[in-house]
Amino acid sequence: MSALYPGAVATRERAPDPNVPGDVEVDAATHEGPRPTPSPAPSRARPARRLGPGRRRRGARALGPLIVLALWTLGSGVGVLDPRTLPAPWTVVATSSNLWTQGTLVTDLTTSATRAFWGFLIGLTVGVVLAVLAGLSRWGEATVDGTVQLARSIPTLGLIPLIILWLGIGELFKISIIAVVVMIPIYLNLYAALSNIDNRYVELAETIRLSRWQFLRTVVVPGALPGFFVGLRLGVTGSWLALVVLEQINATNGLGYLMFQAQNYGRVDIILVGLTIYALLGLASDFAVRLIERRVLSWQQTLAG
């Protein structure tokens, strides 16, 4: 203490005699005995959440499909489900194996994937371009947004007769419908994200005199990415949904055509094979987009942490 406070001199009285009970060392400056050492506060465990949804478990989303599969297997095994109405899971697996060995399933799957890919790519490109024009320019908003909103209000399947008259019933017709289905959700979500960027960031960018390119790169793009990925997930799922319908309209190949032919012959197992493949393709596409989103938007988790 004397080194920190030179004016205060602390001296000690005689050493305490251990043979004298109650004889303790006393500080001469304060005439106080030794202070008891405070005991550490007991650690309190964080109470468990009662109102929140709780912690997410990895792989928990597979629980629902596994329960459905278990009930389906159990119902087929005990004879509750009529095999003519809903074949057993092992029957569906055997049918898919036979179709794959014959080469039919490989050809139809490749054709469907090619149509979905090109339709998705065109819809993605058009949706992003239109959203950027409408979201970053008042002139673009006046000319683009109203037209897209009008197209959104028209059921996409209602455009099929018109597009057939324009483009025929070939591959271009199917790819065009898929592109429209993909374009609308991507445009809507990206346009909303671009239009709702916080004005405080815009004022800050003007204050520090960012160029337009710097403003787009550091403010607009990070702010619009979450909305873009929402639209991307909806678009990639919509491409497979549209394909189911389109491949049953004057098609000669594809998974939808395979299911349509199975309907004519009463092959419920083949229809279930097609539906299962569509579901797996949709889930795989959505998982891929979610994985890319998690990597690209990792900075959001850092800020939240």
Question: Can you list the domains of the chain with their CATH numbers?
Answer: 86-298 (1.10.3720.10)
pLDDT at 42: 55
The two three-digit tokens of residue 172, written as one number? 């271009």
Per-residue pLDDT of the chain (305 residues; tens, 9 = 90+): 433 333 344 444 455 555 545 554 444 445 555 555 555 555 555 555 555 565 666 666 778 778 888 888 898 888 888 888 888 889 889 999 999 988 888 999 999 999 999 999 999 999 999 999 998 888 888 888 888 888 888 888 788 888 888 888 888 888 999 999 999 999 999 999 988 877 777 777 778 877 778 878 888 888 888 889 999 999 999 898 888 888 887 778 888 889 888 888 888 999 999 999 988 898 899 889 999 988 888 766 554 44
- The closest of 151, 112, 132, 125 to 239, measured between CA atoms, is 112
pLDDT at 17: 52
pLDDT at 187: 94
pLDDT at 11: 43
Residue 249's contacts (CB-CB under 8 Å, 6 or more residues apart) are 160, 169
pLDDT at 126: 95
pLDDT at 202: 75
